[in-house]
Chain A
Amino acid sequence: MSTTLKRVHGYLAEFDSVKDLYHAAEHVRDAGYQRWDVHSPFPIHGMDDAMGNPRSKLPMLVFCGGITGTTVAFTLETITQTNFWSHIGLGFLQKIVETYPTVVQGKPTDIWTLPAFFPVMFELTILFSAFTTLFGLLALIGLPRWNHPLFVSKNFSKFSDDGFFVCIEARDPKFSQEGTKSLLEKAGGKNIELVEDEI
């Protein structure tokens, strides 16, 4: 007999088809649950609406990342290669870094040489946006992590093949041992099990 302490992770219910899963998600959404998720082998169109998910914060983060990239590139290039900062009265900035205006084909070393810097501004915008997308996404979905409590369930391994699951977590304020179970039963869930996480 095991003596390890266990914590209830939540209820896991299995559904037969995409259709059942979709309607179950609508049920759970309408019951007002916050901390729950659906698991399916493939993406399901319209599932975001069925779950009542708000729009992701990621686009806003990516926009800020992109703007940061543009600004970094602009500052880096103008501060090292032009006299732009001296012209607008911020010459001390150019004393901090070593300014070395590069004259190419008689092009000016003021703000009007900006087109030469566009490629780098463009690239850094893309680079910073891409990084923000990747790392912002990982942060928002909570990856990477060592393990997931649902892997305890033998039945759950079907999620990557032909199983459709809803899991309502115990940390949801509306969670109750009887109420949540009966909700899942009413929504048509099968093989409902209480998943426990080893601490």
Chain B
Amino acid sequence: MSHHVTFNDLPQGGEKFEPAKGGKLIGAFGLFGLLGLLASAFFFFKNTDTFAYSWLFAVFFCFTFVAGGCFWILLHSASNSSWGVVVRRIWENMANMVVPLAILASPLLIPAVNGPLYEWMGHHRTAAEHAAHADHPTTVKEALHHMAADNPHLHVLVTKFGYMNLNAWYIRFGLYFLVLWFIARTLRGKSLQQEQDGDIKHTIKARQFSCIVLLPYALAVTFAAYDWLVGLDYNWFSTMWGVYIFAGCAWASMAASILIVIWLRSLGYLQKVVTDEHYHLMGKLLFAFTVFWAYISFSQYFLIWYANITEETRFYLTRNTEGWREVSIFILLGHFIVPFLFLLSQQKKKNTTYIGLGCVWILFMHVVDMYWNVIPERGPSLGVGVVVPYAWVQDIAAFCAVFGAMGFLYLRGLAKYSLYPWRDPRLLESVNVVN
């Protein structure tokens, strides 16, 4: 065990990040983001239909990090933890990326974008037109009911009308970002106020606040996952879906925060506050969520596979046939078995080279998982076969645009505040943590 760190060993005012030091990575993110945005603008006007799916994939991928960062600060405050104080600012900043994310997600509000994504919206818009031109006063729901006489598939839309209608969708879209923004901003605000006066009351208030907003947070993430991904096929439903997406959020954001810590340490920051123990602790949570994700995703698959109900199996039929079958098997291996075996050993979790490589792999698998969730719907929904030829170029462009821009803004944003909450009453407890 090394020397017990005291306040005399730590710099007054915490550590300030200078973007110039990490210029290479920040520059790379910025460049990819810029090129991606240019390419995206081109594809957006050229192939709006197919590009909508690429954009949804990229935006949702980044959404999982914001939701994950939000979850970790909530959990850390609500459970009265001390171990993660030194890495908490990284999560706080991650959660506060919700504002640029909302801007990047705003194209999804345009009917030309969400129309091709969500078939139900098309039916609803047609129904609204019918209702407007009807001889006698008709509601949209009634118009939809009329349409269902010719197209029996639409009956399910009539029964789901209470939840699945355009106004509610738009309101909820705003609410999700509002809830996440409110949580992220409040918790970082309390953390920053504490740096001014060093008062423990901010820690206590953050705990009370977190316990209250855990439920709205869970609802926001769950229903965002329903509205944006399950809505791609209006016939489909799965009560496991929210938990499944949440597990991925927590998993990927933990991997990302480990990578950020490793990167900051390689630039000479956080040298005295982060130790092997923190890598070990974060590695353990990563391991826990590897298993949790597998448990949830298998439970979802298993119930649907066994029950064999037509409306439900469609989701897996699409993904278990043609080329997607190999991707599914690859996800089973790469998303669960490989990280599971890799993260079992304590030595590997404490070794920055190993855990760094593991986290890069985990982020890659998270990309594959999100891609596998969104993109297989594209071909069948647009009626162009299984896979849209060369659409993967658009997917890469959208991914570079959103992830590049978000990464660029995030890393630059690190410079705004101290890299760790340096006046947190539990800072020393966290620095000297042993597990």
B306 adjacent to chain A (CB < 8 Å): yes
Asked if A115 and B301 make an inter-chain contact with CB atoms under 8 angstroms apart, the answer reads yes
A105, CB-defined interface residue at 8 Å: yes
Check B434–A105 contact: CB distance below 8 A: no
Task: Give the residue name and chain of the A residue nearest to B302 (CB).
Answer: A115
Say yes or no: is B305 at the interface (Cβ < 8 Å to chain A): yes
B306's partner among A46, A63, A116 (CB-CB below 8 A) is: A116
Residues of B within 8 A of A46 (CB): 1, 434
> Which residues of chain A are within 8 angstroms of B298 by Cβ–Cβ distance?
115, 118
* CA–CA, A79 and B75, complex, Å: 45
In Å, the complex CA distance between A161 and B218 comes to: 46
**B347, closest chain A residue (CB):** A55
* Contact residues, A7-63 vs B (CB, 8 A): 45-46, 49, 55, 59, 63
A residues in contact with B306, CB < 8 Å? 104-105, 116
Q: Which residue of B lies closest to A112 (CB)?
A: B320
Q: How close is B275's CB to chain A, nearest CB, in angstroms? A: 14
Contacts of A49 in B (CB 8 A): 1
Complex: A63 Cα to B346 Cα, angstroms: 13
Chain B contact surface mostly: helix
**Would A105 and B308 be within 8 Å (CB), given that A49-B1, A118-B298 are in contact?**
yes
Q: For the complex, is B156 an interface residue (Cβ under 8 Å from A)?
A: no
Which residues of the partner chain A approach B301 to less than 8 Å between Cβ atoms? 115
- Give the number of residues in B that approach A within 8 Å (Cβ atoms): 10
Q: Does B204 contact A (CB under 8 A)?
A: no
* Interface positions of B from 297 to 342, Cβ below 8 Å from A: 298, 301-302, 305-306, 308
The interface residues of chain A lying within 8 Å CB-to-CB of B308 are 105
Contacts of A55 in B (CB 8 A): 346
B415 within 8 A of A: no
Mark interface residues in A87-104 (1 if CB within 8 Å of B CB, else 0). Answer: 000000000000000001
Report Cα–Cα, A115/B301, bound state, in Å.
9
Contact with A along B273-305 (1 / 0, CB 8 A): 000000000000000000000000010011001
Q: Are B305 and A45 in contact (CB under 8 A)?
A: no
Contact present for A118 and B1 (CB under 8 Å): no
Task: Report B193 CB to chain A, min CB distance, Å.
Answer: 33
Q: How far is the CA of A49 from the CA of B434 in the complex (A)?
A: 11
A residues in contact with B1, CB < 8 Å: 46, 49
> Which residues in window 112-132 of A have CB below 8 A to B?
115-116, 118-119
Instruction: List B contacts of A45 (CB < 8 A).
Output: 434
Shortest Cβ distance from residue A111 to the other chain B in the assembled complex, whole angstroms: 11
By a CB distance below 8 angstroms, the chain B residues around A104 are 306
Q: Contact between B305 and A115 (Cβ–Cβ < 8 Å)?
A: yes
Are the CB atoms of A63 and B344 closer together than 8 Å?
A: yes
In whole Å, how far is A97's beta carbon from the nearest beta carbon of chain B? 25
Q: How far is the CA of A55 from the CA of B434 in the complex (A)?
A: 15
Q: How far is the CA of A118 from the CA of B297 in the complex (A)?
A: 13
Tell me the complex Cα distance, A45–B306, Å: 49
Which residues of chain B have C-beta atoms less than 8 A from A116's C-beta? 306
| Least distance between A179 CB and chain B CB atoms (Å) | 28
Q: How far is the CB of B239 from chain A (nearest CB, A)?
A: 19
B434 touches A118 (CB 8 A): no
* Separation of A116 and B346 alpha carbons in the complex (Å): 32
Which residues of B are found within 8 Å of A105, using beta-carbon distances?
306, 308
Report B382-435 residues with CB < 8 Å from chain A CB: 434
Q: How far is the CA of A105 from the CA of B308 in the complex (A)?
A: 8
- Once the chains are docked, how many angstroms separate the CA of A1 from the CA of B306? 78
Distance from B338 Cβ to chain A, minimum over Cβ atoms (Å): 15
Kindly state the separation between the CA atoms of A198 and B305 in the bound complex, as whole angstroms: 66
A25: min CB distance to chain B, Å: 13
Q: How far is the CB of A74 from chain B (nearest CB, A)?
A: 13
Q: Which residues of A contact B344 (CB under 8 A)?
A: 63
Query: What are 18 A-B pairs at a CB distance below 8 A?
Result: A45-B434, A46-B1, A46-B434, A49-B1, A55-B346, A59-B346, A63-B344, A104-B306, A105-B306, A105-B308, A115-B298, A115-B301, A115-B302, A115-B305, A116-B306, A118-B298, A118-B302, A119-B302
Q: Identify the B interface with A (CB < 8 A).
A: 1, 298, 301-302, 305-306, 308, 344, 346, 434
Residues of A in contact with B (beta carbons under 8 Å apart): 45-46, 49, 55, 59, 63, 104-105, 115-116, 118-119
A sample of 16 more A-B contacts (CB under 8 A), given A115-B298, A118-B298, is A45-B434, A46-B1, A46-B434, A49-B1, A55-B346, A59-B346, A63-B344, A104-B306, A105-B306, A105-B308, A115-B301, A115-B302, A115-B305, A116-B306, A118-B302, A119-B302
